[in-house]
Each structure stands twice: as C-alpha cells, then as structure tokens.
Amino acid sequence: GGRFLVSVWDRLEDNPVPRITHETIATFFPSDPAQFYTIPFSLHDPAVVSRLLEGAGFVDVRWERLHKTGTSPSAADAATGLIEGNPVYVAIMQRRAAALADIEATVARNVAAAFGDHPLRCPLRAIFFSAQRPR
C-alpha cells in the first residue's frame, strides 16, 4: 500500500491570470486560437478525478479545494512566464512568431489592469487529492 497525493488546477474560469492569458492570446489568432491553456485546467471536476483514482485501484479518495495567492515581481514577468514557460509558446511561434512581443505586452497590460503591478498578486485555485493504495 501507500498514499497517493496529487494536485490539479481548478477551472480556468477560477484562475483568472491564466484565463486572461488564454483569452488575450486568442485575440491574436481568432481563426486558429492556441488551445494549450484548456488542457492543464481540464481535470477540474473532483468526481471525475475520484472515479479515475478509484478505477486505478485506489480507495479512501479525498479532495479539497485550495485557494492561494500567486505573486510575481511584475505583470510583465508573469506574462513572460505564462507565455514562454509552456507549450503555448510553440503555438505562437508556429502561427506568427513576429507577434510574440506584442502578445506578451498585451497580456502584461491586461493582467496588470485586473490585478495590479509591481508586484502582481492574483488568486489561484487548485484541487488537492489524496488516495490510499490497498495492500
């Protein structure tokens, strides 16, 4: 036996800075929006994750929502990480590499308008699961 611990992001709608990033990037590619941000936020239903864990043989599945505050020295730093630090960067490079600086600046501006700047502070929501593996 053993204990399995995992956390997943809650809904994209409940994580506003990634949501703003996703929506802003989409405005640059309206006919072919990058879909990366829909993936890490797709396992937000505790019932679905619980069924997956139980289907894998785990018991005593428990979960709780975590409400945290994310911080970044600036909205521009956050925008750089949110874009260049994950696969959405590849999607941007494939669609229109020359737009990268404009996209990052627009994301930074939109995020700062919603949550401030120097530093940026924003709400984050995740779901923490624990489950037991029987012997």
Q: How do residues 13-67 score in pLDDT, each as one tens digit?
A: 999 999 999 999 999 999 999 999 999 999 999 999 999 999 999 999 999 999 9
Domain containing 81: what range? 2-133
Span 69-85, average pLDDT: 98
Q: Looking at residue 1, what is its pLDDT?
A: 86
Is 118 exposed, middle or buried (CB count within 10 Å of its CB: 0-12, 13-18, 19+)? Answer: exposed
Res 10 pLDDT > 90:
yes
Question: What is the domain count for the chain?
Answer: 1
Looking at residue 112, which CATH number applies to its domain?
Answer: 3.40.50.150
Q: In this model, does residue 76 exceed pLDDT 90? A: yes
10 Å CB burial of residue 37 (0-12, 13-18, 19+) is buried
pTM for the full predicted model? 0.92
Provide the mean pLDDT of the chain.
Answer: 98
